[in-house]
């Protein structure tokens, strides 16, 4: 799986958009970008994933650059409950076989009131 | 919606004792993953099972073993416990052929004294 690089920490004001960057310059053509987050001592939570098109769901938006070497997770209106460690993970989504997720260091996002 | 169930939530054991952690995946999920998260660390992949067969192995000590049963629940057995085994242990499940991301359980906090 490709290595990702994320800033160790970020902060954002409550109600503002939080933009979390991720570099994955060695990503392969069949690898997806996944985002998970972990709120203190809870199990990691899936947020969103994408291959090359931008994706949006009820939690966040994922913007992937055209060359797929970097991406940005956007939390449109951050709340205090979004304070967590956010992990950007690149991996193959192999149909009909298991594929482990490897967590890197992640970004510790702090939302300030 | 049903989630991944882990038991027990908390466990205290003495050094050299044995511990068994259980994981009940989401109904119809056929793949189970185990992760270990030490204090202040990121989750580390231990082992995974797909359709009751071991599918991948990470940094799991030889003192640990795991299996997936016919009803797809999984158990992580840990023997000769050491102080360094104190950690959060997470289980995750997915449907092997459809990859929308893993669903993690709330974890078991193991304390070895």
State phi, psi for B83 to the nearest 5 degrees.
-55, -35
Residue among B57, B77, B58, B59 nearest B67 (CA):
B77
Q: For A102, which of B45, B49, B94 is closest by C-beta distance?
A: B45
| Structure confidence at residue A79 as a pLDDT band (50, 70, 90) | very high
* Signed CA dihedral, A95, A99, A105, A111: sign only: positive
- pLDDT at A98 exceeding the cut of 80: no
Q: Given an 8 Å threshold on Cβ–Cβ distance, is A103 in contact with B43?
A: yes
* Closest Cα in chain A, distance from residue B37 (Å): 9
In whole angstroms, give the CA distance from residue B45 to residue B38.
12
| Structure confidence at residue B109 as a pLDDT band (50, 70, 90) | very high
* Signed CA dihedral, B28, B51, B95, B59: sign only: positive
Q: Given an 8 Å threshold on Cβ–Cβ distance, is B90 in contact with A43?
A: yes
* Closest Cα in chain B, distance from residue A46 (Å): 6
* Closest Cα in chain B, distance from residue A96 (Å): 4
Strands of B74-78's sheet in order across: B5-7, B19-24, B74-78, B64-68
* Closest Cα in chain A, distance from residue B27 (Å): 17
B56, two tokens = 């991948």
The string of pLDDT tens digits covering residues A24-72 is: 999 988 888 999 999 998 999 999 999 998 999 999 999 999 999 999 9
Q: Given an 8 Å threshold on Cβ–Cβ distance, is A101 in contact with B55?
A: no
Searching chain A, which residue's CA lies closest to the CA of residue B107?
A43
Q: Which residues contact A79 (CB under 8 A, 6 or more apart)?
A: A14, A15, A111
Mutate which: A101, A102, A105, vs B, most B CBs within 10 A:
A101
Looking up tokens 């996002």, which residue turns up? A109
3-state secondary structure of B85: helix
In whole angstroms, give the CA distance from residue B86 to residue B84.
5
Q: Which residues pair with A63 in a beta bridge?
A: A72
- pLDDT at A2 exceeding the cut of 70: no
């Amino acid at each position: 799986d490709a290595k990702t690089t994320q800033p160790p920490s970020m902060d954002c004001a409550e109600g503002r958009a939080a933009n979390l960057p991720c570099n994955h310059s060695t990503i392969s053509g069949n690898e997806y970008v996944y985002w998970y987050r972990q709120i203190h001592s809870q199990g990691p939570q899936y947020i969103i994933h994408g291959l090359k098109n931008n994706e949006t769901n009820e939690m966040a938006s994922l913007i992937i650059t055209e060359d797929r070497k970097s991406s940005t997770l956007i939390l449109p209106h951050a709340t205090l409950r979004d304070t967590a460690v956010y992990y950007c993970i690149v991996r193959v989504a192999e149909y009909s076989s298991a594929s482990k997720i490897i967590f890197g260091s992640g970004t510790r996002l702090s939302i300030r009131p | 919606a049903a989630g991944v169930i882990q038991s027990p939530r908390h466990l205290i054991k003495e050094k050299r004792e044995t511990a068994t952690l259980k994981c009940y995946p989401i109904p119809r999920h056929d793949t189970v993953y185990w992760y270990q998260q030490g204090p202040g660390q990121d989750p580390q992949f231990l082992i995974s099972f797909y359709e009751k067969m071991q599918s991948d192995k990470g940094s799991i000590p030889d003192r640990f073993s795991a299996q997936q049963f016919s009803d797809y629940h999984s158990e992580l057995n840990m023997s000769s416990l050491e102080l360094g085994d104190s950690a959060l242990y997470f289980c995750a499940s997915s449907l092997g052929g459809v990859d929308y991301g893993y669903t993690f359980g709330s974890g078991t906090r193991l304390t070895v004294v």
